[in-house]
Structure 1
Amino acid sequence: MTFLIPAASGLAMGLSLIVSIGAQNAFVLRQGLRREHVLLCVAICAVSDVLLIGVGVAGFGSLVAGTPWVLQVARFGGAAFLAAFGFMALKRALKPGALSATDAPGARRSAGRTGVALTLLGLTWLNPQVYLETIVLLGSVAAAQGQQEGPAARWYFGGGAMAASVLWFSALGAGARLLRPLFARPAAWRVLDGAVAAMMFTLAALLVLRPLQG
């Protein structure tokens, strides 16, 4: 039962990092509300986090932290992507015709599976904060767990963090449909897209104005 403490620590830390309002979560929530490609979104987010956490636990956190130019490239590239996504959300919020009270699969032309996948991959892999949280931060804590409890403990910790990601995105995608009565009105979609646009612009500005620190 020695794996329980590091695994629980990884689960708690993983949830504390991922359960927040961000670009990735906002997109999954919107797709869940629309019931469009929800499983694909959950799979992309969960698999991406599992891979990144695995890289961090394997010991690449210190490597990334030692190459600041990588973070700088990701910083400005991620800011540009977030700003572009923000403009798309703002356009949806300002254009009533883009919203419908029956916003559901087939109700109007929606993004295809490829478009959804590419957008979510961009929101995930072009966000430098994801690398800092998964590879650098979780990787560093996992390494500390390994030094204190033994080599296996870091993988128990990493496994807990991976489980946190899978559980959260599964709950977000599946639970979004409980909010559908609220979003049966176009005004609610305007508020959601307006909030998403503001969030994207804020995140993009923070990436540009606030230097990343590993």
Structure 2
Amino acid sequence: MDSMTGLWTAAIAGFAVSLQLILAIGAQNAFVLRQGLRRAHVGAVVATCIVSEILLIGIGVTSFATVEARFPAVGPILLYGGAAVLIWYGISHARAAWRGGDALTPEAGGPGSLRAAVLTCLAITWANPHVYLDTVILLGALSRGFPGAEVAFGMGAATASALFFVLLGYGARLLAPIFARPAAWRVLDAVIAVTMWAIAAKLLYFGVP
């Protein structure tokens, strides 16, 4: 019973942390959102994002401990480096919230082909260093706080990512009127800034076991 409770606790923690991280609107999320608004190859784009996230999270929760064991200094470096980047994320989004002026323009560029959509999605995902910071490094580091339940933590994180991309891709049409207004982006950027700072604080407080 205790073991099962520990697994559920780790899975819920992974779900919550992953959801907070993925809420930050970056190139990948903006691309999925635009494809959803256009109703262009949504299924293929969402599937590409989900599979990529599962692979990256899997690498983080299964390999981070091995790397840390061979290179003990990597833990503190990634801990403080990751926190610093998260703090910078927060600052950049806080500035965007203060300045305002952004609005989503989904019609730009047209829907394109299926091949182009998938390749663009792969490039945005795998060539983006922020993705590695969030999935491999941060989630990998935080999973170390649940000894023996790292995989459960990763499964929770992957579930959150999958749910988010499905809702973002297929629910995007409902958001079109909202994100056509710059004020909506200012509110979202402000929420993202606070979220990033909160995650950085948690990371620094709990550390890497």
TM-score, scaled to structure 2: 0.62
- CA drift at 1:62: 6.5
Query: Which residue number corresponds to residue 73 of structure 1?
Result: none
Query: Which residue number corresponds to residue 161 of structure 2?
Result: 165
- CA drift at 1:128: 0.6
Counterpart CA distance in 1 for 2:13 and 2:111 is: 40
1:54 maps to a residue whose letter is G
Structure number with larger C-alpha Rg: 1
Q: Is the 8 A contact 1:142 1:158 kept in 2?
A: yes
Deviations 1:58-103 (A, max 9, x none): 124764995x9xxxxxxxxxxxxxxxxxxxxxxxx9xxxxx89xx6
Query: Which residue number corresponds to residue 209 of structure 1?
Result: none
Counterpart CA distance in 2 for 1:110 and 1:138 is: 33
Aligned residues: 147
Q: For 2:52, which of 24, 39, 48 is the aligned residue?
A: 48
- CA drift at 1:4: 1.4
Query: Which residue number corresponds to residue 24 of structure 1?
Result: 28
SS in 2 for 1:144: coil
Q: For 2:41, which of 16, 21, 37 is the aligned residue?
A: 37
Query: Which residue number corresponds to residue 112 of structure 2?
Result: 111
1:59 correspondence with 2:63: yes
SS in 1 for 2:145: helix
Higher mean alpha-carbon deviation, 173-182 vs 30-39, is at 173-182
* Mapping 1:39-188, distance limit 5 Å: 39-60=43-64, 63=67, 110-146=111-147, 151=148, 153-180=149-176, 188=180
- CA drift at 1:180: 4.5
- CA drift at 1:14: 0.4
- The verdict on how the C-alpha distance between 1:136 and 1:62 changes in structure 2, with shifts beyond 3 A counting, is farther
2:48 maps to a residue whose letter is I
1:131 maps to a residue whose letter is Y
TM-score, scaled to structure 1: 0.60
Higher mean alpha-carbon deviation, 109-118 vs 7-16, is at 109-118
- CA drift at 1:41: 1.1
Counterpart CA distance in 1 for 2:135 and 2:57 is: 5
Q: Is the 8 A contact 1:59 1:143 kept in 2?
A: no
Deviations 1:95-142 (A, max 9, x none): xxxx89xx6xxxx96310111111111110001111111111111111
Counterpart CA distance in 2 for 1:62 and 1:177 is: 43
Percent identity, please. Answer: 48
1:12 correspondence with 2:16: yes
SS in 1 for 2:171: helix
Moved over 4 A (4+): 180-183
Counterpart CA distance in 2 for 1:28 and 1:164 is: 16
